Amino acid sequence: MKIGIVIPAHNEAMTMTNCLTSVQTAMTQLPPTITAYPLVVLDSCTDETLALVKAAGVDYLCCHYHCVGRVRDMGIRHAIKKGATWIACTDADSIVTVDWLIQQIAHMTQQPTDMICGVVSVDSWAHLAPQTRQDYINHYQDSMGHRHIHGANLMFSSEAYLTVGGFAPLPCHEDVDLVKKFEAQGYAITWSNQVRVITSSRLEARAAEGFAAFLANLEKSHLSE
């Protein structure tokens, strides 16, 4: 089995190294029968992201799409051509847990699945209003069977991905769209809180309606009170 780990990046010099270090650490936990191929897809980067990826010894592609759906799809199709039969997606502003990959294997071993939707933890609440944190906790279901969808923690079968047509060329919510495609074609989906990543609490969004924008809107609602 070969796992393709695909990471889109747009000017992520502040977080890229920590992301790749966490991915490489998770890879060391895999048994010898399973290999992993990390790939960063740099979209219109003008900072030091590329230099950091090279320093980490990780393969990469470059593009100028300004569209996360196209970026993810480009990377995934490249990984599949390299022999990946399972795709694990995360983001450059996120850190995967040490057991991120082996928890995915555990789910597939326990019960065959075509997709795993994992959960995210927020790295820091220090710069946000206390009520923002509370509202988030009240909203978020950190449990098995949750229904949250994060491009930063989404895994699936390469075969199923190609069958449904892959990520749509969307600037945001490409992850939600892909899950809907899997559901529409009757693929098995595991909603797991055992597969985890820690993601940035920054408020400067890369995607107009992504996770950072969600936190920013929560924060704005309390600052205006």
pLDDT at 164: 98
End-to-end CA distance of the chain: 53
- Give the pairing type, strands 154-157 and 115-122: antiparallel
Range 106-111 contact pairs with CB under 8 angstroms and sequence separation of 24 or more: 106/194, 107/190, 107/192, 107/194, 107/195, 111/188, 111/190
- Which residues in the chain show pLDDT less than 50? none
pLDDT at 205: 60
* Helix or strand holding residue 149 (H, E): none
What are the strands, taking DSSP E only, across 1-81? Answer: 2-9, 35-43, 59-63
Q: How far apart are CA 101 and CA 126, in angstroms?
A: 29
pLDDT at 97: 98
Domains of the chain: 2-223 (3.90.550.10)
pLDDT at 211: 73
